[in-house]
Amino acid sequence: MNDVPNKSSSPILAAGGAAFLALAALFLVRDLAMPPETLLDAAALLAAVTAVLRPPRRVPWIGPAVLLAISVAGGCWFLAVESPALLPALALAAVGSIASVAMHERRASPSPSRLDDRTRRLAWYAAGVAFLVATGALYVHYFTFGFADESPARRLIPTIAWLAIGLALWIAAPSRESASGRVAMGFVAVALLKALIYDSTHLQGPLRVTVFAAVGALLLAGARLVVHRERA
């Protein structure tokens, strides 16, 4: 007899809790004069905790989905205003997304349900986007506008790092069609596009030769390692 009231009451309690959290966030900004970026920090922390802990059974994808949304919104916000106050939220989203991937991989079953498989894929995609956005924002803040603002060699760092990470994921992925394989291809594609479109026009002389040589060497090394893995 108690099952029906419990089922009908839980959504009301959840909605009430969400409403009061929204009111707390509103008055946090208005009454305490906190910057609006603080809301994104709080949302990123809450989403990271939700994604890492055991999520609700009906909506297990809610944590990765919110982290993905925060990364996209925070990245666009950072591009618009370049506010360092957004960096904690972007870093939290990246760390939470990577931790969510680790949790899903550890708990993965040999024959997962369709919902669990989609949630696991979403966690991978959220981690890829969050990592790219967070590292890009940190690079812009600490290198482009920071201690390496007068050194054009800094432009090699994200290109080589993203390409190396993408190739490592590609080699470790069970297949190109898997979630990790698609994320790996995304990293490689972003790095190659940056090298061809941005680095080729913003680097000169030895630095331009260096970035193309490094990209070519990494691609050749990755191809060799992929062949060895497929033969094993």
Q: In sequence order, what DSSP letters do the residues of 69-130 get, joined into one string?
A: HHHHHHHHHHHHH--GGGHHHHHHHHHHHHHHHHHHHHH--SS--HHHHHHHHHHHHHHHHH
Q: How many CB atoms lie within 10 A of CB 149?
A: 10
Give residue-wise pLDDT tens across range 90-132: 999 999 999 999 988 887 777 778 888 888 899 999 999 999 9
Provide the whole-model pTM.
0.84
Give residue-wise pLDDT tens across range 35-76: 778 888 888 888 888 888 766 677 788 889 999 999 999 999
pLDDT (average), residues 123-144 = 94
User: Which pLDDT band, with edges at 50, 70 and 90, does 30 fall under?
Assistant: low
Q: How many CB atoms lie within 10 A of CB 227?
A: 10
Mean pLDDT score across all residues of the chain: 85
